[in-house]
């Protein structure tokens, strides 16, 4: 107990030392926006606290040079008060990672905390009583450390007054941060039925994140890219890379998003452009789910159910139920700004997902998506899955199961299963039904071979396949399998090189088609 008390007291003193230093600085000056972040708190690491202790302000009296040791009466007396009334708390494990004696000002910080606690107990109705013996001890400590207590309280009062003035001041402005990402990749493809070839492509993304009150984020993103989907050459959507997209390298708005917390449990997600279901719904496929430093194929990023989102405009909501469950619901539309179509017309998708995480290592989710006029193959399946009803308007009801299990500190196992029921809403073939099936298993070996930041990823799965269709000739006869492997090598915290490849057997779920091979060497820069 003495060790715990000693450690906790040192923590309080370190915090006080920081307060004393800050109170004598130019606190009233506004902090430049470039030095703060909307969603990041500055936290003192143990080594930072110890450095602060090394620079404690000078004392001016000989009596102040006497440190308070664990063997002193004052230390034992304050320790007894802490044990009885819970005046001081340290880190989560109730320890402070330091080993120095306390000077009188540091000791006074702990004493002041105990005095405030005892005063609260005296003023409120409680079953805890302050004994006469403890009151005598308190009085003696106050007498012996009167000068130090007065100095501590004056400094705290001054700092609180300045803080209140800053909080009331209208001089604070919004905080905006800039972050960027650039991908340069050499990619190639080949197969028995196609001509081998290589390309050089890129993607550049610039994001501007702004916070208005610290618990929110407005993101404005622009993007330029020129990575083709290879469909014209390979004849299938199954050959797409994860960073696919081509706008002739013209910078365009890629994201206009705003999210904020209604409460510690509730998140609201608003998308004017570039929204997606996984912006507010966990896909449970980390760390494979990043298109820039994760999987190299479009299919391998996440369950294709999340691709049934209709577009980038809409709203999402997430609510946490304790520490185990979260509910995500949302609606996204493709042409919400078109007066002839509106929010509820044309292509749209609505999602509801219940995610359960009973332990820190295991999570599972049940997903339901209803969508209209969206390809049931979500851009990664066969031609039959993408267009099961020969051009008819299509509604879908999709059901998904996603899981993630951290087997060990460096090995994560994930997977998904998706079943998509499609219904023809217009001619031709109005009233027809089709069923699409997709699944995948992912293995992620983090810090591979002991190298921090490296990642070996392996993905095996089946791209969306039509397993049943009322329309003759629109059902896939065979099964394509997707085999993928990549190795992400971290050069620095902001530079990654990822060689990767994937193989698609029986492309388009047709054994008459030869196997397709796609490889890439992706270099990712983060700013």
49 pLDDT exceeds 80? Answer: no
User: What pLDDT digit, counting tens, does each position of 335-355 carry?
Assistant: 766 666 666 667 899 999 999
Ordered by where they begin, the domains of the chain are 2-168 (no CATH), 181-526 (2.40.160.10)
**Residue whose structure tokens are 């990664």:** 380
Query: What's the whole-number mean pLDDT along residues 11-17?
Result: 43
**Residue 68 CA neighbour count, 13 Å, CB half:** 26
295 pLDDT exceeds 60? Answer: yes
**Residue whose structure tokens are 């267009």:** 387
Question: How confident is the model at residue 448, as a pLDDT?
Answer: 86
Contact, 181 vs 166, CB < 8 A?
no
Could you tell me how many residues make up the chain?
Answer: 527
- Per-residue pLDDT band for 40 (boundaries 50, 70, 90) equals very low
Question: How confident is the model at residue 331, as a pLDDT?
Answer: 95
Rounded to an integer, what distance in angstroms lies between the CA atom of residue 301 and that of residue 295?
6
Rounded to an integer, what distance in angstroms lies between the CA atom of residue 280 and that of residue 327?
10
> What residues contact residue 85 under an 8 Å CB cut-off, 6+ apart?
114, 117, 118, 121, 128
4 pLDDT exceeds 60? Answer: no
Q: Tell which wins on pLDDT, 449 or 388.
A: 388
What does the DSSP 8-state code read for residue 145?
Answer: T
Rounded to an integer, what distance in angstroms lies between the CA atom of residue 15 and that of residue 124?
27
Q: What is the DSSP pairing of strand 216-227 with strand 194-211?
A: antiparallel
User: What pLDDT digit, counting tens, does each position of 379-438 carry?
Assistant: 999 999 999 999 899 999 999 999 999 999 899 999 999 999 999 998 888 999 999 999
Rounded to an integer, what distance in angstroms lies between the CA atom of residue 31 and that of residue 115?
34
Question: How confident is the model at residue 345, as a pLDDT?
Answer: 65
246 pLDDT exceeds 70? Answer: yes
Where residue 314 falls (left for φ over 0; alpha for ψ -120 to 50; beta otherwise) is left
- SS3 assignment, position 142: helix
**DSSP bridge partners of 194:** 191
Contact, 333 vs 344, CB < 8 A?
yes
- Per-residue pLDDT band for 111 (boundaries 50, 70, 90) equals confident
**Residue 98 CA neighbour count, 13 Å, CB half:** 26
Contact, 504 vs 482, CB < 8 A?
yes
Contact, 422 vs 376, CB < 8 A?
yes
Q: How many CB atoms lie within 10 A of CB 3?
A: 11
**Residue whose structure tokens are 């797409």:** 240
Question: How confident is the model at residue 329, as a pLDDT?
Answer: 98
DSSP string, 495-519: EEEEEEEEEEESGGG-TTSPPEEEE
Which residue from 243, 198, 200, 196 is spatially nearest to 223, judged by alpha carbons?
243
Which residue from 385, 384, 383 is spatially nearest to 398, judged by alpha carbons?
385
Helix %, strand %, coil % for the chain, to 5? 25, 40, 35
Question: How confident is the model at residue 162, as a pLDDT?
Answer: 82
Contact, 274 vs 253, CB < 8 A?
yes
Which two three-digit tokens encode residue 348?
A: 């749209």
Rounded to an integer, what distance in angstroms lies between the CA atom of residue 16 and that of residue 89?
14
pTM value is: 0.68
User: What pLDDT digit, counting tens, does each position of 64-109 carry?
Assistant: 446 777 667 777 777 777 777 777 655 444 444 444 566 777 777 7
- Per-residue pLDDT band for 169 (boundaries 50, 70, 90) equals low
Which two three-digit tokens encode residue 29?
A: 């000056």
Look over the chain and give the mean of its residue pLDDT values, rounded to a whole number: 82
């Amino acid at each position: 107990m003495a060790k715990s008390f000693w450690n906790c007291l040192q923590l309080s003193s370190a915090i006080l030392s920081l307060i004393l230093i800050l109170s004598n600085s130019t606190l009233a000056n506004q902090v430049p926006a470039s030095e703060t972040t909307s969603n990041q708190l500055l936290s003192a690491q143990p080594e930072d606290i110890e450095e602060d202790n090394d620079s404690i302000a000078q004392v001016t009296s000989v009596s102040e040079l006497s440190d308070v040791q664990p063997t002193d009466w004052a230390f034992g007396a304050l320790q007894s008060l802490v044990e009885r009334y819970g005046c001081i708390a340290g880190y989560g494990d109730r320890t402070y990672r330091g080993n120095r004696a306390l000077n009188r000002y540091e000791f006074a910080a702990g004493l002041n905390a105990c005095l405030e606690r005892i005063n609260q107990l005296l003023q409120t109705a409680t079953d805890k009583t302050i004994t006469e013996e403890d009151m005598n001890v308190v009085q003696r400590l106050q007498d012996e450390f009167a000068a130090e207590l007065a100095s501590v309280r004056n400094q705290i009062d001054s700092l609180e007054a300045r803080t209140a003035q800053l909080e009331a001041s209208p001089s604070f402005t919004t905080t905006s941060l800039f972050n960027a990402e650039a991908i340069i990749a050499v990619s190639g493809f080949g197969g028995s039925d196609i001509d081998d070839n290589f390309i050089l492509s890129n993607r550049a993304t610039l994001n501007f994140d702004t916070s208005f009150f610290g618990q929110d984020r407005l993101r404005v993103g622009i993007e330029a890219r020129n990575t083709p989907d290879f469909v014209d050459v390979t004849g299938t959507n199954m050959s797409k890379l994860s960073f696919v997209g081509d706008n002739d390298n013209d910078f365009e708005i890629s994201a206009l998003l705003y999210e904020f917390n209604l409460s510690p449990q509730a998140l609201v997600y608003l998308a004017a452009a570039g929204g997606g279901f996984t912006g507010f719904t966990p896909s449970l496929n980390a760390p494979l789910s990043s298109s820039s430093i994760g999987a190299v194929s479009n299919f391998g990023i996440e369950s294709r159910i999340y691709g049934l989102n209709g577009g980038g405009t809409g709203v999402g909501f997430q609510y946490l139920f304790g520490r185990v469950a979260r509910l995500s619901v949302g609606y996204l539309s493709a042409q919400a700004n078109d007066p002839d179509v509106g929010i509820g017309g044309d292509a749209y998708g609505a999602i509801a997902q219940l995610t359960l995480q009973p332990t820190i290592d295991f999570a599972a989710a049940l997903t339901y998506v209803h969508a209209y006029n969206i390809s049931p193959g979500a851009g990664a399946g066969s031609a039959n899955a993408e267009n099961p009803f020969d051009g008819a308007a299509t509604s879908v009801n999709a059901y998904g199961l996603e899981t993630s299990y951290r087997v060990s500190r460096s090995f994560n196992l994930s997977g998904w299963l998706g079943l998509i029921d499609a219904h023809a809403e217009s001619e031709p073939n109005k009233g027809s039904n089709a069923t699409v099936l997709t699944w995948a298993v992912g293995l992620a070996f983090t810090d591979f071979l002991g190298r921090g930041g490296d990642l070996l990823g392996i993905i095996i799965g089946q791209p969306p396949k039509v397993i049943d269709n009322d329309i003759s000739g629109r059902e896939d006869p065979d099964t394509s399998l997707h085999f993928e492997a990549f190795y992400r090598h971290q050069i620095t915290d902001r530079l990654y090189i990822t060689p990767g490849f994937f193989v698609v057997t029986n492309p388009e779920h047709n054994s008459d088609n030869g196997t397709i091979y796609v490889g890439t060497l992706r270099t990712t820069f983060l700013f």
